[in-house]
């Protein structure tokens, strides 16, 4: 299904741009938003592949933030590319003495972080962020680590574990191997990342991922999503050129995440942004509960959370309305450099 | 004996032999292109390309920004992402995305920019290297039109022709001046031309430094200086023969013509700079600034008048011609700068202006050395020369 979003060239373009002119130019966009929603609601089958074509058809798109949805969003790849990072493995109910095994291999991989922009990354299993590791509290976690990269690496897990499993002293040389083994605790959203020095380089290059430990008393069933916030400094000047969730800028603007209004949505949100350390998530058109680190009894009711590098939390949302709801870093700069996406809430 | 070399039977063969080194060079270059990697391989790995684009020109239209980029490096460069004020924006390319050496493309960004506010554009290559260009104030880029052409002509006329015509009105007073004072004014002409030469040379070198490395080094400035110096030397030679001055030194109208040519080349550069600044919205050229240039340039009229004052009569038509030779290039320069942007051309023009001015300085100094009552080291000559530089500097402050 194609429909057009009004662009301000539909108006008689004011000869000189003034503030007044801009406001006048924006008016059709304000109207176009709800129209777009209505049009979409007519045809639920098309929700996954949103196409917002501009009428001129030559890239003269409606300008700005609001227009960066569907094909207008400059994102890499196809609609299901990041499913393995977005949808975590299913939680398993607590069972005494269970062993959970994962294999992580560090590899030097060139990844495309924005259309045509190649970043020479260091990855766990070829993606940035690395795969989602999940265990239930009390499981014995066994992670086989192979270093296929060109530099020495480790895996440092957040959580409670012995000193020799901390991934700080046991540096794994290129071509080396190490097995991390410890009991998964405490319940919450943990992290893992490389702890070789220079630390900033090893983290920024992409060696990190989400590590979910489910509580013994299982959380209520929900549609679960993982969002790891990060950034890429592609020109080495110490500040990021692109910001993303799950590794590709504007990916969820191009491919909105479809969720059901009737179902609880749980987002495991972590911040592994290097250089600009504070990141955030703001949800449009809704409020959610946020549990810092996914531990403890304190839930904040809000629409914006802020995390420093290494902080994380669990978010639970019940959407009140259907339609497209934006989510993005509430650092406008980050949002406009790629950390912006949409939920497509359907019945 | 003399003819022997021409008639020797082996002569043609030795001429052919001259091609030998060239053919061998082609062979060696071909061999290196084929197997050269093994030679550079001995030195270790090759560093990756810098991948910085050269942002040549940023134009603002209603709802649109156009960014002209050039690849300054040997390796190909691909435009992958574009930012405006550090925000990623959708864009289209008028030209290829992957640019070969010194090839250009225009990036077209639909964007509601804010008038008169600073803005920055960034172009990111496929290797993630971002080149950012700051624009001090976003102003709609004017499009070529008859009105604008007339506007440039008017500005060129005001800063070029008018002050020189006014300066020439000193001619009657100069004619009645004592010889020592006249040489003082001639020395003043030499001083002001030296000032213009240094200014033009500095401008040329600065612009050259801003060129992409692929367009060569500072030698191109020397090329411009040498061409205009030698060209003007030839002109002065022709004029001196025609003027039958016998001693090989110019005087009177001929010298005034030379001074006018030198000043004209400089004013061409000045017009070019003004036109370019207007076109790139870099200069808010108010009426005050034009007044400044006018005051600055009236001294140039004096410089042309001084040699004539010593050299007899000059018809009104001749004076008008001199005025146009010296002043009208400002109009041409403003047109060229306003409608075409070629940084390499600008470097060459300013270098030519410097070379011409230096050449005319030597002619004027020779004239002064010949004519000055107290010789070239008389206080009138030295004072006049310094005064010429000082006047140009002081009035330049008004224009600057």
pLDDT in tens, A287-299: 999 999 999 899 9
Average pLDDT over residues B39-56: 79
Q: What angle do CA A308, A312, A313 make, to 5 degrees?
A: 130
Of B74, B73, B33, the C-alpha closest to B52 is B73
pLDDT at residue B244, rounded to an integer: 54
- pLDDT above 70 covers a percentage of chain A that reads 81
Average pLDDT over residues B190-210: 88
Q: Evaluate if residue B79 carries a pLDDT over 70.
A: yes
Cβ of B92 within 8 Å of Cβ of A58? The answer is yes
pLDDT at residue A329, rounded to an integer: 97
Q: Crossing angle of helices B287-310/B343-371, nearest 10°? A: 40
Q: Evaluate if residue B159 carries a pLDDT over 90.
A: no
Min Cα separation A59/chain B (Å):
6
Average pLDDT over residues B336-358: 81
Please state, as a whole number, how many other Cβ atoms lie within 10 Å of the Cβ of residue B190.
26
B297 vs B312 pLDDT, higher one: B297
Q: What is the ipTM of this complex?
A: 0.74
Residues of A in contact with B126 (CB under 8 A): 116-118
B294 vs A9 pLDDT, higher one: B294
Average pLDDT over residues B236-252: 65
* Arithmetic mean of pLDDT over chain B: 83
Whole-angstrom CA distances from A310 to A188, A293, A306, B368 are: 13, 10, 11, 80
φ and ψ of A85, to 5 deg: -90, -30
Cβ of A74 within 8 Å of Cβ of B129? The answer is no
Q: Evaluate if residue A25 carries a pLDDT over 50.
A: no
φ/ψ region of A321 (left if φ > 0, alpha if ψ in -120 to 50, else beta) reads beta
A113 vs B176 pLDDT, higher one: A113
* Arithmetic mean of pLDDT over chain A: 84
**pLDDT band per the 50, 70, 90 thresholds, residue B361:** confident
Fold of B54-135: Immunoglobulin-like (2.60.40)
Domains of chain A and any CATH numbers = 3-71 (no CATH), 87-214 (2.60.40.420), 223-346 (2.60.40.420)
Average pLDDT over residues A95-106: 96
Q: Evaluate if residue B14 carries a pLDDT over 70.
A: yes
Chain B residue whose CA is closest to A25: B112
Report residue A305 as tokens: 């959370």
pLDDT at residue A20, rounded to an integer: 35
pLDDT at residue A54, rounded to an integer: 34
Q: H or E segment at B269?
A: helix B252-279
Q: What is residue B8's three-state secondary structure? A: coil
Place of tokens 């001015």: B357
**pLDDT band per the 50, 70, 90 thresholds, residue B399:** low
Q: Which burial class, exposed, middle or buried, applies to A223 when counting CB atoms under 10 A from its CB (0-12, 13-18, 19+)?
A: middle
Cβ of B110 within 8 Å of Cβ of A60? The answer is yes
Average pLDDT over residues A33-51: 39
pLDDT at residue A31, rounded to an integer: 38
pLDDT at residue A95, rounded to an integer: 95
Tens of pLDDT, residue by residue over A228-284, are 999 999 998 999 999 999 999 999 999 999 999 989 999 999 999 999 989 999 999
Q: Evaluate if residue B247 carries a pLDDT over 60.
A: no
Average pLDDT over residues B205-221: 82
Residues of A in contact with B63 (CB under 8 A): 8-9, 13, 17, 25, 63
Of B98, B363, B389, the C-alpha closest to B249 is B363
Q: Evaluate if residue B146 carries a pLDDT over 50.
A: yes
CA distance B374 to B213: 50
Cβ of A116 within 8 Å of Cβ of B126? The answer is yes
φ and ψ of B153, to 5 deg: -60, -40
φ and ψ of B303, to 5 deg: -60, -35
Min Cα separation B211/chain A (Å):
22
Average pLDDT over residues A212-231: 97
CA distance A162 to A178: 15
Q: Evaluate if residue B221 carries a pLDDT over 60.
A: yes
pLDDT at residue A62, rounded to an integer: 42
Average pLDDT over residues B197-203: 88
Q: Select from B49, B61, B80, B141 the residue whose CB has the most chain A CBs within 10 Å, as the one to mutate to test that interface.
A: B80
pLDDT at residue B265, rounded to an integer: 85
Residues on chain A bordering chain B, Cβ-to-Cβ distance under 8 angstroms: 7-9, 13-19, 22, 25, 58-61, 63-64, 67-68, 72, 74, 113-119, 232, 234-235, 237, 241-242, 249-250, 333, 336-338
Cβ of B87 within 8 Å of Cβ of A60? The answer is no
Q: Evaluate if residue B77 carries a pLDDT over 70.
A: yes
Report residue B10 as tokens: 């082996």
Residues of A in contact with B87 (CB under 8 A): 333, 336-337
Report residue B57 as tokens: 């020109």
- pLDDT above 70 covers a percentage of chain B that reads 89
CB pairs under 8 A between A and B: 97
Min Cα separation B50/chain A (Å):
10
Average pLDDT over residues B10-36: 85
Whole-angstrom CA distances from B113 to A6, A19, A22, A256, B247 are: 19, 10, 9, 28, 65
pLDDT at residue A58, rounded to an integer: 35
Residues on chain B bordering chain A, Cβ-to-Cβ distance under 8 angstroms: 62-63, 78-81, 83, 86-88, 90-92, 97, 108, 110-115, 124-130, 140
Residues of B in contact with A13 (CB under 8 A): 62-63
Chain B residue whose CA is closest to A21: B112
Cβ of B88 within 8 Å of Cβ of A249? The answer is yes
Cβ of A118 within 8 Å of Cβ of B126? The answer is yes
Place of tokens 């045509």: A116
pLDDT at residue B312, rounded to an integer: 66
B342 vs B122 pLDDT, higher one: B122
Residues of A in contact with B114 (CB under 8 A): 17, 19
Q: Evaluate if residue A43 carries a pLDDT over 80.
A: no
Cβ within 8 Å of residue B7, ≥6 positions away: none
Place of tokens 């993630």: B128
Domain ranges of chain B: 54-135, 146-399
Min Cα separation A69/chain B (Å):
11
Average pLDDT over residues A12-28: 35
Min Cα separation B150/chain A (Å):
22
Could you tell me if B118 and B136 are in contact, meaning their C-beta atoms sit under 8 angstroms apart? yes
Distance from the Cα of residue B324 to its chain's centroid: 19
Residues of A in contact with B110 (CB under 8 A): 7, 59-61, 63
pLDDT at residue B307, rounded to an integer: 83
CA atoms within 13 A on the CB side of B353: 33
Q: Which burial class, exposed, middle or buried, applies to B371 when counting CB atoms under 10 A from its CB (0-12, 13-18, 19+)?
A: middle
Min Cα separation A105/chain B (Å):
25
Average pLDDT over residues A43-65: 38
Could you tell me if B93 and B107 are in contact, meaning their C-beta atoms sit under 8 angstroms apart? yes
Give the sheet arrangement for strand A242-245, strand by strand: A242-245, A223-232, A265-271, A312-317, A288-292, A300-302
């Amino acid at each position: 299904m194609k429909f057009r979003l009004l662009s301000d060239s539909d108006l008689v373009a004011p000869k000189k741009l003034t503030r007044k002119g801009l406001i006048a130019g924006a008016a059709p966009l304000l109207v176009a938003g709800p129209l777009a929603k209505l049009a979409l609601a007519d045809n639920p089958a098309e929700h996954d592949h949103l196409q917002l074509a501009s009428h001129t058809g030559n890239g003269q798109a409606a300008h700005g933030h609001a227009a960066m949805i569907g094909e207008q969003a400059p994102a890499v790849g196809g609609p299901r590319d990041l499913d393995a990072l977005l949808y975590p493995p299913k939680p398993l109910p607590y069972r005494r003495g269970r062993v959970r095994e994962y294999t992580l291999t560090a590899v030097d991989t060139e990844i495309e972080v924005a259309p045509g922009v190649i970043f020479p990354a260091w990855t766990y299993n070829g993606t940035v962020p690395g795969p989602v590791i999940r265990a239930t509290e009390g499981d014995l976690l066994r992670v086989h680590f192979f270093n296929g990269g060109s530099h020495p690496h480790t895996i440092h897990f957040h959580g409670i574990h012995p000193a020799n499993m901390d991934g700080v002293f046991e540096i794994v040389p290129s071509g080396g191997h190490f097995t991390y083994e410890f009991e998964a605790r405490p319940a919450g959203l943990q992290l893992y990342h490389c702890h070789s020095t220079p630390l900033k380089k090893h983290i920024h290059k992409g060696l990190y991922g989400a590590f979910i430990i489910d509580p013994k008393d299982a959380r209520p069933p929900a549609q679960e999503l993982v969002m790891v916030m990060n950034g890429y400094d592609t020109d080495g000047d110490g500040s990021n050129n692109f910001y993303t969730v799950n590794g590709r800028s504007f990916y969820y603007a191009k491919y909105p995440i479809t969720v059901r209004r009737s179902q609880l949505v749980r987002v495991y949100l972590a911040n592994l942004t290097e250089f600009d350390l504070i990141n955030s998530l703001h949800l449009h058109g809704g409020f959610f509960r946020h549990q810092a680190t996914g531990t403890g009894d304190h839930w904040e009711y809000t629409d914006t959370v802020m995390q420093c590098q290494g902080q994380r939390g669990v978010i639970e949302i019940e959407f009140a309305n259907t339609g497209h709801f934006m989510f993005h870093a509430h650092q406008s700069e980050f949002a406009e450099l790629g950390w912006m996406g949409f939920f497509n809430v359907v019945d | 004996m003399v003819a022997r070399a021409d008639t020797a039977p082996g002569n043609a063969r030795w001429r052919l032999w001259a091609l030998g080194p060239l053919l061998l060079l082609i062979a060696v270059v071909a061999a290196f292109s084929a197997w050269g990697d093994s030679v550079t391989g001995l030195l270790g790995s090759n560093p990756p390309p810098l991948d910085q684009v050269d942002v040549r020109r940023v134009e603002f239209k209603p709802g649109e920004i156009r960014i002209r980029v050039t690849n300054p490096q040997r390796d190909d460069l691909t435009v992958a992402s574009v930012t405006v004020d550090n925000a990623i924006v959708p864009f289209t390319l008028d030209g290829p995305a992957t640019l070969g050496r010194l090839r250009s493309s225009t990036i077209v960004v639909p964007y509601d920019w804010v008038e008169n506010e600073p803005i920055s554009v960034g172009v990111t290559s496929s290797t993630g290297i971002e080149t950012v260009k700051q624009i001090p104030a976003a102003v709609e880029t004017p499009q070529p039109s008859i009105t604008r052409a007339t506007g440039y002509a008017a500005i060129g006329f005001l800063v070029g022709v008018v002050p020189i015509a006014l300066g020439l009105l000193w001619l009657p007073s100069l004619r009645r001046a004592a010889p020592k004072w006249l040489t003082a004014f001639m020395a003043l002409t030499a001083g002001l031309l030296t000032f213009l030469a240094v200014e033009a040379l500095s401008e040329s070198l600065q612009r050259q430094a801003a060129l992409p490395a692929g367009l060569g080094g500072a030698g191109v400035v020397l090329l411009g200086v040498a061409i205009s110096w030698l060209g003007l030397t030839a002109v002065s030679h022709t004029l001196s023969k025609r003027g039958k001055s016998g001693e090989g030194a110019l005087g009177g109208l001929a010298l005034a013509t030379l001074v006018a040519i030198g000043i004209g080349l400089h004013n061409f550069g000045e017009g070019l700079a003004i036109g370019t600044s207007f076109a790139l919205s870099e200069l808010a050229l108010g009426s005050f600034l034009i007044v400044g240039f006018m005051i600055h340039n009236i001294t140039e009229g004096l410089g042309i008048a001084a040699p004539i004052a010593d050299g007899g009569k000059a018809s009104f038509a001749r004076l008008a011609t001199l005025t146009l030779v010296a002043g009208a290039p400002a109009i041409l320069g403003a047109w060229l700068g306003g409608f075409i942007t070629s940084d390499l051309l600008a470097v060459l023009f300013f270098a030519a202006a410097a070379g011409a001015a230096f050449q005319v300085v030597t002619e004027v100094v020779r004239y002064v050395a010949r004519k000055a009552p107290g010789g070239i080291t008389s206080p009138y000559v030295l004072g006049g020369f310094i005064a010429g530089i000082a006047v140009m500097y002081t009035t330049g402050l008004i224009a600057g």
